[in-house]
Chain A
Amino acid sequence: MSENTAAPAKPKGKKRLELDPRLAAYKGIWVFVEMERGQVHQVSWELLGEGRKLADILNVELGAVILGGSNDELAAAARSAFTYGADVAYIVADPVLTDYRNEPYTKAMTDLVNKYQPEILLLGATTLGRDLAGSVATTLLTGLTADCTELAIDPDNRGLLATRPTFGGSLLCTIQTLNYRPQMATIRPRVMAMPDTLPERSGRVISENLQMQEDDIIAKVLQFIPDEAQEQAQLAYADIIVAGGRGMGKAENFRLIWDLAAVLGAEVGGSRPVTHAGWLPADRQVGQSGKTVRPKLYIAAGISGAIQHRVGMESSDVIIAINNDPHAPIFDFATYGIVGDAVQILPVLTDAFRSRLAVNRRAG
């Protein structure tokens, strides 16, 4: 830039840009349905739930993009996508899309976007989603906000307000893509609530072909090595977690936690002192240096609720705290609190749930 080219004066306050008329044609919200080995990642359904809300605000259609190798799997995923709120499913079935590879997925996605022109494109911030989103956004020359935790629509300009934590979570920044389309965002798994299914719901299926030969693709998948850890603690995806802290007193008392978890079909978690003492394996630690969880129900027995524990579980839908100290900090943010000895209360709860669930089963 030459020195006497004055920079255009920055408008004061909120920027208002006229959207390029060619981009004004972009309509609708899309969610990328992430599928691996026939399994849809749960974040995709969470995003359809969130996408539905945004689509209703904007009064546009919600589309699900489903890419893969097998027609049957894609069709099944499309049916599920409809029950979670999608109006349209865009399907590309091609053998080169069987395993995830950046190149063919980017091509399939960008072809779809260029043809059908959605205004918003959402992906899960999984390893796969983050990889794909970056190349799709740079190919389309549009804006992408990574790892968002909140989405909203700007009432002024119908734009997407994508909010994400930054600087290690100490700041939340809201980012807008003002004059490029689609507005892209990846969203952190387990942040958006799982939507209810409407089993009767159905929608349109639009199938497209991918113009790509296997020989054109540089990356080859030689072997797939499944993650052994899949068999172990799945705290991040549990609907119910029963967690114990130092207040459980000793390792043997953790049997009470496991018993309650077994009756509820829950995962078992714990606080730092508990994993430190070896009462629980380290991969069950919840908190700042452990797992962040967002179950529907978190039962915390003998956990004080220190900030480092709290940050890992406070977004649970319902938190039940059992603690013998009525002043324990956990009562400040628990939904329900029981003041008492966890070692006595847990077996009573377990029995109550067991007989209640047995009645329900008989009735059902």
Chain B
Amino acid sequence: MIKIEEKLFQNRYRVDEGHPHIHIINPEVCADNCSAQSCTYVCPAGCYVADEKGDITLTTDGCLECGTCRIICNDHHNVAWEYPRGGHGILFKFG
């Protein structure tokens, strides 16, 4: 089975080290109030991962900037979403 990581490796990124462009506003909301945790299913780059305790880690390196996570978190508005700074993020080649 091909993992998402391997597919993401086909993409070109310029990771903005130390400046993640998406933040979870309140991690407790994810762990305690959000039973669906839809972000962990819908993100096409697998940026959101839930651990056994229900805590969510968000790593934006592979983010495709589609905006899905921002929309899907409609019940809680818990995602602070920005585009990466100019020149950073996904750099689609023949996109």
Interface residues of A (CB under 8 A from B): 168, 272-273, 276-277, 282, 288-289, 306-308
Point out the residues of chain B lying under 8 angstroms from A289, CB to CB. Answer: 13, 15, 17, 61
B3 adjacent to chain A (CB < 8 Å)? yes
Contacting pair A308 B17 (CB below 8 A): no
B92 adjacent to chain A (CB < 8 Å)? no
Interface residues of B (CB under 8 A from A): 3, 5-6, 8-9, 12-13, 15, 17-18, 57, 59, 61
How long is the Cα–Cα vector from A288 to B12 in the complex, in angstroms?
Answer: 11
Contacting pair B57 A308 (CB below 8 A): no
Contacting pair B59 A307 (CB below 8 A): no
Point out the residues of chain B lying under 8 angstroms from A308, CB to CB. Answer: 5, 8-9, 61
Q: Assess A276 versus B13: contact at CB under 8 Å? Given A282-B18, A308-B5.
A: no
Q: Assess A272 versus B6: contact at CB under 8 Å? Given A282-B17, A289-B13, A289-B17.
A: no
Point out the residues of chain A lying under 8 angstroms from B18, CB to CB. Answer: 282
Contacting pair A306 B61 (CB below 8 A): no
How long is the Cα–Cα vector from A277 to B5 in the complex, in angstroms?
Answer: 19
Q: How many pairs, one residue from A and one from B, have CB atoms within 8 Å of each other in the complex? A: 24
Point out the residues of chain A lying under 8 angstroms from B5, CB to CB. Answer: 306-308
How long is the Cα–Cα vector from A230 to B3 in the complex, in angstroms?
Answer: 37
Point out the residues of chain B lying under 8 angstroms from A276, CB to CB. Answer: 57, 59
Q: Assess A307 versus B6: contact at CB under 8 Å? Given A168-B12, A282-B18.
A: yes
Of residues A272, A277, A307, which shows the largest number of chain B Cβ atoms within 10 Å of its Cβ? A307
How long is the Cα–Cα vector from A276 to B56 in the complex, in angstroms?
Answer: 13
A304 to chain B, nearest CB (A): 9
Contacting pair B57 A277 (CB below 8 A): yes
Show 13 residue pairs from A and B whose CB-CB distance is below 8 angstroms, ordered by the A residue: A168-B12, A272-B59, A272-B61, A276-B57, A282-B17, A288-B9, A289-B13, A289-B17, A306-B3, A308-B5, A308-B8, A308-B9, A308-B61
Contacting pair A307 B9 (CB below 8 A): yes
Q: DSSP majority for the A interface?
A: helix
Point out the residues of chain A lying under 8 angstroms from B6, CB to CB. Answer: 307
Q: Assess A273 versus B3: contact at CB under 8 Å? Given A282-B17, A289-B15.
A: no
Q: Assess A273 versus B57: contact at CB under 8 Å? Given A282-B18, A307-B5, A307-B6.
A: yes
- Find the A residue at minimum CB distance from B60: A276
Point out the residues of chain A lying under 8 angstroms from B9, CB to CB. Answer: 288, 307-308
How long is the Cα–Cα vector from A282 to B17 in the complex, in angstroms?
Answer: 8
Q: Assess A273 versus B61: contact at CB under 8 Å? Given A168-B12, A306-B3, A307-B5.
A: no
How long is the Cα–Cα vector from A308 to B61 in the complex, in angstroms?
Answer: 11
A314 to chain B, nearest CB (A): 13
How long is the Cα–Cα vector from A272 to B13 in the complex, in angstroms?
Answer: 15
Point out the residues of chain B lying under 8 angstroms from A272, CB to CB. Answer: 59, 61
Point out the residues of chain A lying under 8 angstroms from B59, CB to CB. Answer: 272-273, 276
B79 to chain A, nearest CB (A): 17
Nearest 7 A-B pairs (CB), nearest first?
A289-B15, A307-B9, A306-B5, A276-B59, A307-B6, A307-B5, A282-B18
Point out the residues of chain A lying under 8 angstroms from B61, CB to CB. Answer: 272, 289, 308
Point out the residues of chain B lying under 8 angstroms from A277, CB to CB. Answer: 57
Point out the residues of chain B lying under 8 angstroms from A168, CB to CB. Answer: 12
With A168-B12, A282-B18 given, name 19 new contacts (CB 8 A): A272-B59, A272-B61, A273-B57, A273-B59, A276-B57, A276-B59, A277-B57, A282-B17, A288-B9, A289-B15, A289-B17, A289-B61, A306-B3, A306-B5, A307-B5, A307-B6, A308-B5, A308-B8, A308-B9
